[in-house]
């Protein structure tokens, strides 16, 4: 009855469902006249708005198996110049990746284009958002030309949320190929729209199955054009590229306009303390107009690891140079870096000596301020850490793990069964001990014994703050101190997990012997 088209549809039921939706009018109709010339390039209609903004994609309920549907090409038969049409179907944010099939739009016997058929669904489409692209072949043996694209939604609830608007530059002209993303804070759904040549965009979200009434979202704008260089990219001003807590209502479009600027960048040359240029140069940006403090990340040159540094030659972010940039500006800076050092240790529970049961993050503090340096330790690990730090006297903080929500940009704190602690065993920053780290040096034994909420360290006297009374060798270490054999480190710690050097062992034996008079040369 339906010729070659019917045969192909029966063989490819999933592609059939999408094609039925396209051709039956549940999607915006195909604006194809019946007498278009052979060189015409018809498009799938999804822009009825006089300003060129996209209208909402059509929404259909999940089709049932056996449901009949009449196929009609509106406003008429496919033009005779188009012999075959290929539909590419992509399910956005779903499991259906791609379906490609060719449908011959000629009736049996070649009597003319098909304009109507009655078929039935043999398979359901899951809830989701679908993008359909049509390619047509104008004559036998030729390639396929793109005819257009459209989208449709399969939804049980029927309501959709829409955001549209315009992205303009500083002169008021529309900016093409900007991405406007709409996110829900709980990451249930994410969608984005691309601006056209006039800067216009429209983004539609399919509500999650539990969504009722209003929906709170985060809007963001970014350049997704793949332009040649960072200074060619468009970016919003500081703090204006992301808008949080936007309330959407179903079937009520929300309008959001943006102003973006040609990005500024800062080229940073990196040198060591001798003034030798390192292979660590970096371009920082793109930057929107405004004031910025910029971090040059740690790098490796010639096998040597160098610590990160803020522009302004400081590891304290509060002392970094504030750089004011204007639209499209390109600046240059030079920073001096030092070989990085390392601190290592183990994190345990104070009450039991067992590894901590929560995710713990070790932070570096310089002059009391957190730097960009930190390390997360998962509770499934041994709770041993190695943190790369800059040379100097950092203070280590042991606290709950933090992560930045990729949607809202806010810092989220993870559950934590313990109290914040600074090295060594200090509850407050003012009582913390610094760790002396030389360039390229490794300091071991910087352990932490974490207290549960409301718990206090035992009142029994302890020889060193990093040797608690429950430590397996606390008695032996206390005897060494009592006999004057060991005095610990200058910062008052013992560092029980640090290796003993030959010179320290010689000092221990000398003190054990009662510090006798030395009359002979060492021989070393």
In 3D, which of 175, 152, 143 has the Cα closest to residue 92? 152
Cβ-contact 89, 22 below 8 angstroms: no
pLDDT at res. 175: 93
For 65-89, give one letter per residue: b (16+ CB within 10 A) or e: eeeebebebeeebbbebbbbbbbbb
User: Which residues does residue 292 pair with via DSSP β-bridges, in sequence order?
Assistant: 323
pLDDT digits over 172-227, tens only?
999 999 999 988 876 666 778 889 889 999 888 776 665 667 788 899 999 988 88
* 3-class secondary structure, 312: coil
Which residues share a beta bridge with 216?
247
Question: Which residues, other chains included, contact 478 with Cβ-Cβ below 8 Å and sequence gap of 6+?
Answer: 463
- Give CA–CA dist 126/96, Å, rounded: 9
DSSP state of 413: E
How far, in Å, CA of 397 to CA of 427, rounded? 10
pLDDT of res. 203: 85
- Per the model's pLDDT, the better-predicted residue between 128 and 70 turns out to be 128
Q: Which one has a higher pLDDT value, 78 or 30?
A: 78
Distance CA 13, CA 409 (A): 43
Of the listed ranges 52-61, 331-340, 425-434, 454-463, the least confidently predicted one is 52-61
| Spatial separation of the C-alpha atoms in residues 417 and 321, rounded to whole Å | 38
pLDDT score recorded for residue 437: 92
Q: Which of 139-148, 294-303, 495-504 is predicted with the least confidence, judged by mean pLDDT? A: 139-148
**pLDDT score for 51:** 37
Q: What is the pLDDT of residues 321-374, one digit of tens each?
A: 999 999 999 999 999 999 999 999 889 888 888 888 889 999 999 999 999 999
Pairing of strands 99-104, 295-296: unpaired
Bridge partners (DSSP) listed for residue 168: 174, 259
- How sure is the predictor about 518, in pLDDT bands with cuts at 50, 70 and 90? confident
In this predicted model, what pLDDT tens digit does every residue of 123-171 receive, in sequence order?
566 776 666 666 666 666 676 665 556 666 677 766 778 899 999 999 9
Report the percent of the chain where pLDDT is more than 70: 66
pLDDT of residue 21: 40
For residue 33, what pLDDT is reported?
Answer: 28
Q: Is 316 helix (H, G, I), strand (E, B) or coil?
A: coil
Give the range among 62-71, 99-108, 232-241, 451-460 with minimum mean pLDDT. 99-108
Q: What percent of the chain has a predicted confidence (pLDDT) above 90?
A: 33
Residues near 162 by beta carbon (within 8 Å), at least 6 away in sequence: 56, 202, 203, 204, 205, 248, 251, 252, 253, 254
3-state SS, 492-519, equals CCCCCCCCCCHHHHHHHHHHHCCCCCCC
- 514 vs 500: CA distance, rounded Å: 20
Q: How many whole angstroms from its chain centre is CA 25?
A: 39
Predicted confidence at residue 236, as pLDDT, reads 92
Stretch 492-509: mean pLDDT: 83
The whole-number pLDDT of residue 85 equals: 58
- The residue among 228 and 325 whose pLDDT is bigger is 325
In terms of Cα–Cα distance, which of 392, 353, 388, 389 is closest to 474? 353
2: pLDDT confidence band, cut at 50, 70 and 90? Answer: very low
Whether 41 has a pLDDT exceeding 50, the answer reads no
> Mind listing the pLDDT tens digit for each residue in 446-456?
888 898 887 77
Judge contact between 66 and 120, C-beta under 8 A.
yes
Give the per-residue pLDDT at 352.
81
Most confident by average pLDDT, 65-79, 104-118, 266-280: 266-280
pLDDT of residue 82: 59
Better-predicted residue by pLDDT, 406 or 457 = 406
Question: Over the stretch 259-293, which tens digit does the pLDDT of each residue have?
Answer: 999 999 999 999 999 999 999 999 998 999 999 99
Q: 33: closest CA among 80, 87, 103?
A: 80
d(CA 415, CA 1): 65
> Structure pTM?
0.65
The torsion angles phi and psi of 110, rounded to 5 degrees, stand at 65, 30
- Find, among 250, 255, 191, 455, the residue nearest to 349 by Cα: 455
């Amino acid at each position: 009855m339906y010729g070659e088209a019917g045969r192909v549809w029966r063989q490819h039921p999933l592609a059939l469902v999408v094609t039925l939706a396209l051709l039956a009018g549940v999607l915006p109709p195909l604006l194809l006249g019946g007498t278009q010339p052979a060189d015409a390039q018809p498009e799938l209609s999804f822009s009825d708005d006089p300003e060129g903004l996209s209208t909402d994609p059509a929404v259909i309920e999940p089709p049932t198996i056996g449901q009949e549907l009449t196929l009609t090409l509106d406003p008429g038969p496919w033009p005779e110049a188009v012999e075959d049409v290929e539909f590419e179907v992509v399910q956005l944010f779903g499991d259906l990746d791609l379906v490609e099939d060719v449908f011959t739009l000629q009736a049996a016997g070649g009597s003319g284009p098909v304009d109507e058929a009655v078929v039935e669904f043999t398979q359901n489409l899951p809830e989701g958002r679908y993008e359909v692209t049509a390619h047509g072949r104008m004559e036998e043996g030729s390639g396929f030309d793109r005819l257009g694209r459209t989208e449709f939604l399969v939804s049980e609830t029927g309501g959709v949320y829409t955001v549209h608007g315009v992205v303009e530059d500083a002169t008021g002209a529309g900016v093409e190929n900007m991405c406007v993303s709409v996110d829900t804070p709980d990451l249930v759904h994410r969608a984005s729209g691309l601006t056209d040549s006039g800067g216009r965009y429209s983004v539609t979200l399919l509500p999650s199955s539990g969504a009722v009434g209003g929906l709170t979202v985060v809007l963001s704008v970014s350049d997704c054009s793949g332009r040649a260089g960072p200074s060619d990219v468009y970016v919003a001003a500081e703090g204006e590229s992301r808008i949080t807590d936007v309330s959407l209502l179903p079937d009520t479009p929300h309008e959001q306009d943006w102003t973006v600027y040609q990005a500024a960048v800062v080229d940073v040359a990196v040198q060591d303390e001798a003034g030798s240029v390192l292979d660590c140069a970096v371009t920082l940006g793109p930057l929107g107009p405004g004031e910025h403090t910029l971090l040059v990340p740690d790098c490796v040159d010639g096998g040597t690891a160098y610590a990160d540094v803020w522009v302004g030659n400081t590891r304290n972010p509060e002392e970094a140079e504030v750089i004011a940039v204007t639209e499209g500006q390109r600046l240059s800076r030079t920073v001096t870096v030092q070989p990085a050092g390392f601190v290592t240790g183990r994190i345990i529970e104070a009450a039991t000596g067992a590894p901590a049961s929560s995710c713990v993050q070790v932070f570096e503090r310089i002059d009391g301020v957190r730097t960009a340096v930190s390390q997360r330790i998962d509770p499934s690990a041994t709770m041993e850490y190695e943190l790369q730090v800059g040379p100097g006297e950092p203070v280590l903080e042991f606290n709950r793990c933090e992560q930045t929500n990729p949607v809202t940009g806010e810092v989220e704190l993870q559950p934590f069964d313990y109290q914040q602690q600074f090295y060594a065993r200090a509850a407050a920053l003012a009582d913390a001990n610094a760790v002396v780290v030389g360039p390229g040096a490794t300091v071991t034994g910087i352990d932490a014994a974490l207290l549960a909420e409301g718990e206090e360290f035992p009142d029994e006297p302890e020889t060193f703050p990093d040797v608690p009374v429950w430590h397996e060798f606390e008695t032996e270490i206390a005897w060494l101190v009592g006999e004057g054999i060991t005095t610990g480190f200058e910062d008052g710690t013992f560092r029980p997990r640090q290796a003993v050097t030959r010179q320290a062992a010689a000092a221990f034996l000398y003190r054990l012997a009662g510090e006798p008079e030395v009359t002979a040369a060492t021989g070393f």
